[in-house]
Structures are given as C-alpha cells and as structure tokens.
C-alpha cells in the first residue's frame, strides 16, 4: 500500500467515525437529552435547555500506546494511538468536543487530524511517521474546542525511531569488578544497514546492581553511555556473575556479563536498639524475644554471610535459635545483612550474653539482654498518694493514687501490667496499666460518702507470693512437690476492709475477691491486716496469687471540730501554754483536709501594763500533711495529726487570743480571752 492509498484509507475511516459521532444537533450543553433543536454543531449551538454551560475546556496529558495497548514514548513505522481526556471546569468529561492534533512528520488517522470525544471525554487518533526513515524528537500537540471555548494546547515530546534499530558494540570498560566497584558501559544504536540512529531510548537492567542512569537516549552517532555499580539502590553489595541488559522500546535487546569479587565481611555489630527484658516462661509474658546482629563490608550491609551464634552467659534453662537448643549454630545473614536470633527464656532469671562470630575471627556480643521473673511480687507492691485527706464538702477534690510494682529481683514488671482498684466511697478509676513498673488512678470526692469520713481503697494485681529460695535454684519448689522452698506470707481470698477491723464482714456488704470457692481444711494463711486483708483457710502452697494492698483516705469537712486539751476552759485561756485538737468531722475520725493551716494571733487589751501580748503555734503538723497515719476509727481521736500546742508571751488577763483555721475553701476562727 503506497502513501496515497494509506491516506485515502485513513480519510475514509475518519469520515465514518465523524458521521457516527455526530447527532442531530445540540443545545450548547454537553450531556443534554434535548434533541429538539434545529441543528448546528456542538461548538456553535446556543443552548437554552437549563443545563449548566461549559465555561472552561481543559485537555489532559497526551498518552501513547502501541498495538498491544502498552504505553510507549517512541513511534516506529508500526504507528501508535494517541489519547487525551477533555474535561470541564468541574472535572467532568465533555462529550462531543473536537480535538485537533498537530505535529511534524506525522500522518494522522483522519484527513483533518481531528477526533470527537466520547461520553467520557476521551478522544483517540492513530499516528504513523510520514516516512519510515524519519527519526528524531518531535512535538505532538492537541487542542480541544467545545461551545466556542478553546483549551490550552497539550504538548508531548515523542521520539521517532526506525523499526530496524539494533544495539551494537555493547561493552563494559572492565568485566571484572571488586566488591562495590563500578564500570562504564557503552553501546551504539544503528539500523540494519549500519547507519547510526540518534534519539533512541535504551533501558538498562541487571539482576543485582544499579546505574548512574538506567534510561539513556542515544546522541551523536548513536552513542549511549552509563555507569554500572556493583550494589543495589539500597546499598546491598552484589557478587558473582551479573548479567547487564540493554533494551530499546521496540524490543531489541543486548547483554553482557561482569564478574564481581565476593565481598569480605569487615565487621559484625549488635544492632538491637532497645534493652531486651524477657519474663520467665511461667510469667505470662511473651514466651520468646529476638535480638539482631548486622554484618558489614566497609560500612555496607553484607548478605549471605555465615555467622556463628553462641551462648556465652545465660540461665541454665534458656534456649536460643530454637527450643531445646543451647549449642552454637551457623546462620546466614539476610538480604539486609541481619542475623536474627530468637531467645527462649526458661524459669530461671538472669543476664544473657550471646556472641556472633565471623569466619575471620571478628565477633560481637549482645548487650542489655536479661531474663526477669516478670511477675509482680508481694513484697514489692506498694501504694502512695498525692494527698490522703480530701475535701468532702464539695464534689471533685482529687487525690492521685500510684501503685508501684517490681518482680522478685526488684526489676520492673512488664509494661502493661494491669492493677485494679475498688473504693468504699467517692469514685476511683477502675484500673491502670504500668509503665516502668508504676501506674496511677484518681480518687474523687462525691457520693457515696461514708458517715465516719473514712474511705477504704483496695488495689489488686495478679502476681507471685514472696518466698525464700532455700536451695538457690531460682525456682520456687514447695515442700509438697519435693522441694524445700517456703512462702514468706501466704495469702488467698481477700476483701475490702471497710470497717478496718482486718476481718471480712459479709453483713456489711464488703467487696470480696475469691481465688478459691471452698475453704481448705488446713489454715496456711498469714494473719489478715488492714493493709493486706486476707481470709483464713483460703491459701494454698502455690506461687501464683492475687496481690493486694489497701489504703485509707479521709473525706473531711472544711468546717473544723475544735477540742480543748489543756490550758483552755470554755472561752478562757488559763495558761501561757495551751493545747487543742482540730478534726474534719464531729465523730473525731478524720483530720482536716490536707493543706489546712493553723494559726494563732492576739489583741493586746492591757495597755497599762506596758507588755506586748504575742502568740505562736509551737507543736503540731502545720499545715495538715498530704500523707499521714490515719490509724483506726476508734483510735484516731487521740492522733498526733490533730494535736496542736501554742504559747503566749507578754499576755495579761483581758487580752484576746484568736485561733484561725484556714481550710482549702473556708476560714474559721475561735476567740478566747486570757
């Protein structure tokens, strides 16, 4: 088929496409179903059917595909299909827009190089070179027109290449490379007759390695050059025989091989970032952990290297690499040069040291790896608070309660250990999770408020009883199992001791936590206390238990209850030394709120005696402390926390004495006469 015949054929196809695409007119609005207009093309109709007019025509990027639908950037004498998408100002595809294509040395699929967009705004057209011998870079442009609105042109630089392009003289400056080395690659693009072909894009690939530029276009006399590096984009070193391939967009390929020397490991480093703390196997923590070493060659990670991993120091029941193994093993470094070692703790705590060695004698030791008991232990469970006497006259006074836990070796328990809380009054957060062996909750004043102003808060957590390891093996073995180890304080079921009598009183509705459903015939339990409540006949000789700690808080009024102790009779001060007590309720069971201050002042009413009457507080906790011994409800009336002593100087009969109590939200004064 000659050029004239091809042109006539393409023109006939274009006429058919245009006739099929054109309807019976339009109203100037795309997407309209109104076919009643009197005709005219879409670019000149005036509309009038209520559709939103197109005020902007936007043409997208031109794309090229070959006959197989593959995206290309090069045109050969086989031709390509060009495609654009035309959209309106709202990003919606415009149907029926006229797209005009232009470009030098190009034959388009229609005689006027135009195409109509379809319902999705897509326009396509075929393109072939005007002559099979045409080569070089040319600009393809596309412009869309709709309803007399013209788009900004879209441009694409495309390469014309001969179909018979071949790659010749592909060479490597050096075919033998050191590890991590490089070499210059060169080749020439020609046609089948040996003529140099410029502007031919060539893509370079390799099984392992990287390039200074993997996509190069031939320039003067068809020359192409790039540098090959014997390591990949991530820095991983290559070795052995590596094939380097060059390919054109028309599918022509050529290849060469280079031989890369095996990389030598120059160092192995322990690269685990954080300390590794493993709980013993029976702790309920994770049953294994991992550490890593990394092999390097002159600072570059090195894969596929033999590394011997050995156990240097560890508890006698610890395994590594796999369960049951304690002997040295050889592991190959992975693609990132890493050697991952899995560690399986037993039931004996202690430090762990693992060694990674290379064949050349270089080695590294693990750091900060240890096995701990992992579970909270009874003797290491404590509670503290920001303040112990809260203001009961208002809702919302808050005390922070902190639980601190440690294992048998006084190491932190695993982060996330849950401590639960219940309270007799007010509101307490139900639980907290430890970080570095501690966590906190808030106790808040609100209803219910116990009548005596004393609020019991109970904290509990799963853990282990404290024991004496008499055989020194690091493992608890009770006498019933043939061992000699003994529990220090045996605990079982427990309760919240609301009335602080160290005895569970079911009739009072005290909170009860049962570990065993039925009592044992023998009582192995430690005596119950207010701080560690315990129920007799509920204790076994096993290690696991629920630890508990209890703390008493005061819900106190800002209005003080004042009690004369000595040197006071009615409203008279009868001595230069006098004492009194201040309580936060009339039952004399709680102190004033924490932070309350006690002061004494005078008014000299005896000017004739030439004496100056002064007074000061000389005894007592002033201000009321944040944390104190709240004793018991029955004994607190005699608590030193409530007792204060004052002294007068230079005072005579008739002088006035003022005791001022400043609570967080109220000031109360008591007046006396000397």
SS3 6: helix
Assess contact for 541 and 525: CB atoms under 8 A: no
Within-domain flag for 567: yes
pLDDT at 26 over 70: no
H-run or E-run covering 17: helix 3-21
Within-domain flag for 1: no
Cα three-residue angle 615-618-622, rounded to 5 degrees: 105
SS3 82: strand
- Averaged pLDDT, 112-133: 93
- Compute the distance between CA of residue 369 and CA of residue 347 in angstroms, rounded to an integer: 15
Assess contact for 127 and 81: CB atoms under 8 A: yes
pLDDT at 123: 96
pLDDT at 608: 66
Residues 523 and 501 in one domain: yes
- Give percent of the chain with pLDDT exceeding 90: 72
H-run or E-run covering 15: helix 3-21
Query: Residues 6 or more apart from 182 whose CB is under 8 A from it?
Result: 227, 228, 229, 230
Query: Residues 6 or more apart from 476 whose CB is under 8 A from it?
Result: 464, 467, 469, 483, 485, 543
Domain boundaries, position 562: 558-673
Residues 247 and 356 in one domain: no
- Averaged pLDDT, 249-271: 92
The confidence band for 48, taking pLDDT boundaries of 50, 70 and 90, is very low
Assess contact for 289 and 366: CB atoms under 8 A: no
CA distances from 160 to 64, 75, 129, 197, 200 (A): 13, 5, 7, 10, 8
Beta strands in 5-135 (DSSP E): 58-59, 63-65, 74-75, 80-87, 98-102, 106-108, 114-116, 122-129
Residue of 187, 213, 191, 207 lying closest to 76 (CA atoms) = 191
Q: Backbone dihedral region of 607: left (phi > 0), alpha (psi from -120 to 50 degrees) or beta?
A: alpha
The confidence band for 114, taking pLDDT boundaries of 50, 70 and 90, is very high
Residues 474 and 328 in one domain: no
pLDDT at 19 over 60: no
Assess contact for 353 and 309: CB atoms under 8 A: no
Terminal Cα distance for the chain, rounded = 134
Assess contact for 530 and 497: CB atoms under 8 A: yes
**Would you give the DSSP letter of residue 530?**
S
Pairing of strands 300-301, 454-464: unpaired
**Tokens 């062996």 label which residue?**
437
Strand partners, 344: 319
pLDDT at 51: 58
- Compute the distance between CA of residue 294 and CA of residue 269 in angstroms, rounded to an integer: 5
pLDDT at 482: 94
- Compute the distance between CA of residue 264 and CA of residue 597 in angstroms, rounded to an integer: 76
- Averaged pLDDT, 293-308: 92
Within-domain flag for 31: no
- Compute the distance between CA of residue 444 and CA of residue 555 in angstroms, rounded to an integer: 10
Residues 246 and 358 in one domain: no
Do you find a cis peptide bond into 623, omega within 30 degrees of 0? yes
**Which of 46-60, 274-288, 379-393, 627-641 is predicted with the least confidence, judged by mean pLDDT?**
46-60
- Averaged pLDDT, 52-57: 84
**Which of 21-25, 58-62, 351-355 is predicted with the least confidence, judged by mean pLDDT?**
21-25
- Averaged pLDDT, 370-376: 85
Q: Take residue 126 and report the two structure tokens written for it.
A: 């075929």
The confidence band for 272, taking pLDDT boundaries of 50, 70 and 90, is very high
Residues 229 and 340 in one domain: no
- Compute the distance between CA of residue 161 and CA of residue 189 in angstroms, rounded to an integer: 11
Q: Take residue 293 and report the two structure tokens written for it.
A: 């070493």
pLDDT at 615: 95
Residues 224 and 173 in one domain: yes
Within-domain flag for 177: yes
SS3 42: coil
**Which of 236-240, 242-246, 381-385 is predicted with the least confidence, judged by mean pLDDT?**
236-240
pLDDT at 515: 92
pLDDT at 47 over 60: no
How many Cα atoms sit within 13 Å of 242 on the Cβ side? Answer: 33
- Compute the distance between CA of residue 508 and CA of residue 424 in angstroms, rounded to an integer: 11
Question: Mind listing the pLDDT tens digit for each residue in 205-232?
Answer: 999 999 999 999 888 888 999 999 999 8
Query: Residues 6 or more apart from 581 whose CB is under 8 A from it?
Result: 562, 563, 565, 588, 642, 643, 644
- Averaged pLDDT, 458-480: 92
Q: Rounded to the nearest 5°, which phi and psi values hold at 613? A: -85, 120
CATH number at residue 86: 2.60.40.10
Assess contact for 78 and 70: CB atoms under 8 A: no
- Averaged pLDDT, 418-439: 97
Residues 200 and 151 in one domain: no
pLDDT at 199: 82
Residues 341 and 402 in one domain: no
Give the chain's domain count: 5
- Compute the distance between CA of residue 556 and CA of residue 561 in angstroms, rounded to an integer: 11
**Which of 13-27, 269-283, 380-394 is predicted with the least confidence, judged by mean pLDDT?**
13-27
Exposed / middle / buried, residue 479 (Cβ in 10 Å: 0-12, 13-18, 19+): exposed
Residues 517 and 590 in one domain: no
Within-domain flag for 19: no
Pairing of strands 253-260, 176-177: parallel
Assess contact for 64 and 101: CB atoms under 8 A: no
Q: Is the pTM of this model over 0.95?
A: no
Within-domain flag for 17: no
CA distances from 143 to 26, 102, 390 (A): 21, 9, 80
pLDDT at 74: 82
- Compute the distance between CA of residue 338 and CA of residue 296 in angstroms, rounded to an integer: 9
Within-domain flag for 477: yes
- Give percent of the chain with pLDDT exceeding 70: 91
Residues 398 and 535 in one domain: yes
Within-domain flag for 22: no
pLDDT at 303 over 80: yes
Query: Residues 6 or more apart from 325 whose CB is under 8 A from it?
Result: 319
Assess contact for 13 and 81: CB atoms under 8 A: no
Question: Mind listing the pLDDT tens digit for each residue in 155-205?
Answer: 999 888 777 789 999 999 999 999 889 999 999 999 888 888 888 889 999
Domain boundary among 555, 576, 603: 555
What size, in residues, is the chain? 674
pLDDT at 489 over 70: yes
H-run or E-run covering 353: strand 350-357
The three-state DSSP-derived secondary structure of 248-266 is: ECCCCEEEEEEEECCCCCC
Query: Residues 6 or more apart from 438 whose CB is under 8 A from it?
Result: 402, 403, 404, 405
- Averaged pLDDT, 462-491: 92
Domain boundary among 160, 186, 214: 160
Residues 524 and 396 in one domain: yes
Residue of 87, 92, 98, 89 lying closest to 42 (CA atoms) = 98
Assess contact for 453 and 587: CB atoms under 8 A: yes
Q: Take residue 2 and report the two structure tokens written for it.
A: 């000659």
pLDDT at 12 over 80: no
Domain boundary among 114, 133, 160: 160
The confidence band for 52, taking pLDDT boundaries of 50, 70 and 90, is low
**Which of 269-278, 387-396, 487-496, 601-610 is predicted with the least confidence, judged by mean pLDDT?**
601-610
Residues 277 and 364 in one domain: yes
Do you find a cis peptide bond into 115, omega within 30 degrees of 0? no
Pairing of strands 338-344, 319-320: antiparallel
């Amino acid at each position: 088929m000659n050029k004239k015949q091809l042109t006539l054929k393409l023109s006939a196809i274009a006429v058919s496409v245009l006739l099929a695409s054109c309807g019976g007119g339009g109203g100037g609005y795309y997407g309209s179903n109104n076919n009643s207009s009197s005709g005219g093309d879409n670019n000149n109709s005036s509309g009038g059917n209520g559709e939103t007019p197109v005020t902007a025509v936007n043409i997208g990027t031109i794309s090229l595909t070959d006959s197989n639908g593959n995206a290309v950037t090069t045109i050969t004498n086989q031709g390509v299909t060009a495609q654009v998408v035309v959209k309106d100002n709202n990003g919606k595809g415009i149907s029926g827009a006229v797209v005009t294509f232009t470009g030098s040395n190009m034959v388009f699929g229609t005689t006027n190089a135009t195409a109509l967009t379809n319902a999705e705004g897509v326009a396509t057209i075929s393109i072939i070179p005007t002559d099979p011998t045409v080569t070089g870079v040319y600009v393809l442009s596309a412009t869309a027109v709709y309803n007399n609105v013209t788009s900004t042109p879209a441009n694409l630089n495309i390469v014309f290449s001969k179909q018979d392009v071949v790659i010749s003289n592909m060479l490597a400056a050096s075919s033998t490379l050191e590890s991590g080395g490089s070499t210059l690659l060169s080749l020439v693009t020609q046609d089948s007759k040996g003529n140099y072909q410029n502007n031919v894009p060539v893509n370079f690939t390799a099984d392992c390695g990287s390039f200074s530029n993997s996509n190069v276009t031939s320039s003067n006399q068809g020359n192409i050059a790039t540098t090959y590096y014997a390591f990949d984009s991530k820095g991983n070193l290559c070795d052995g025989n590596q094939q380097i391939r060059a390919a054109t967009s028309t599918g022509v390929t050529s290849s060469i091989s280079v031989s890369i020397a095996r990389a030598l490991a120059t160092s192995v480093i322990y690269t685990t970032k954080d300390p590794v703390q493993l709980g013993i196997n029976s702790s309920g923590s994770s049953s294994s952990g991992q550490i890593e070493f990394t092999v390097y060659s002159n600072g570059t990670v090195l894969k596929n290297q033999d590394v011997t991993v050995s156990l240097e120091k560890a508890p006698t029941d610890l395994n590594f690499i796999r369960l049951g193994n304690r002997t040295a093993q050889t592991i190959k470094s992975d693609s990132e040069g890493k050697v991952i070692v899995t560690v399986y703790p037993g039931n004996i705590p202690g430090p762990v040291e693992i060694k990674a060695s290379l064949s050349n004698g270089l080695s590294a030791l693990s750091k900060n790896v240890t096995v701990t008991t992992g579970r909270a232990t009874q003797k290491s469970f404590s509670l503290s608070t920001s303040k112990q006497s809260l203001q009961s006259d208002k809702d919302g006074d808050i005390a922070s309660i902190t639980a601190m836990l440690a294992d048998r070796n006084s190491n932190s328990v695993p982060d996330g250990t849950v401590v639960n809380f219940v309270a007799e009054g007010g509101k307490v957060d139900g639980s907290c999770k430890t970080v570095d062996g501690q966590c906190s909750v808030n106790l808040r004043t609100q209803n219910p408020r116990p009548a005596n102003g004393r609020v019991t808060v109970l904290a509990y957590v799963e853990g282990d009883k404290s024991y004496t390891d008499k055989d020194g093996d690091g493992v608890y073995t009770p006498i019933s199992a043939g061992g000699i180890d003994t529990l220090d304080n045996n605990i079982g079921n427990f309760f919240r001791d609301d009335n602080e009598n160290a005895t569970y009183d079911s009739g009072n509705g005290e909170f009860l936590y049962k570990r065993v459903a039925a009592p044992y015939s023998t009582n192995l339990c430690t005596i119950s206390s207010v701080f560690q409540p315990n129920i007799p006949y509920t204790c076994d000789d096993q290690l696991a238990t629920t630890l508990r700690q209890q703390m008493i808080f005061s819900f106190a009024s800002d209005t003080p209850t004042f009690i004369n102790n000595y040197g006071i009779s009615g409203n008279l001060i009868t001595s230069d030394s006098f004492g009194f007590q201040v309580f936060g309720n009339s039952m004399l069971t709680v102190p004033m709120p924490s932070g309350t201050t006690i002061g004494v002042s005078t008014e000299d009413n005896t000017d004739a005696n030439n004496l100056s009457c002064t007074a000061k507080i000389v005894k007592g906790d002033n201000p009321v402390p944040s944390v104190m011994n709240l004793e018991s409800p029955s004994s607190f009336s005699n608590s030193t926390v409530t007792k204060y002593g004052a002294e007068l100087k230079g005072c005579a009969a008739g002088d006035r004495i003022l005791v001022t109590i400043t609570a967080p939200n109220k000031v109360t004064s008591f007046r006396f006469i000397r």
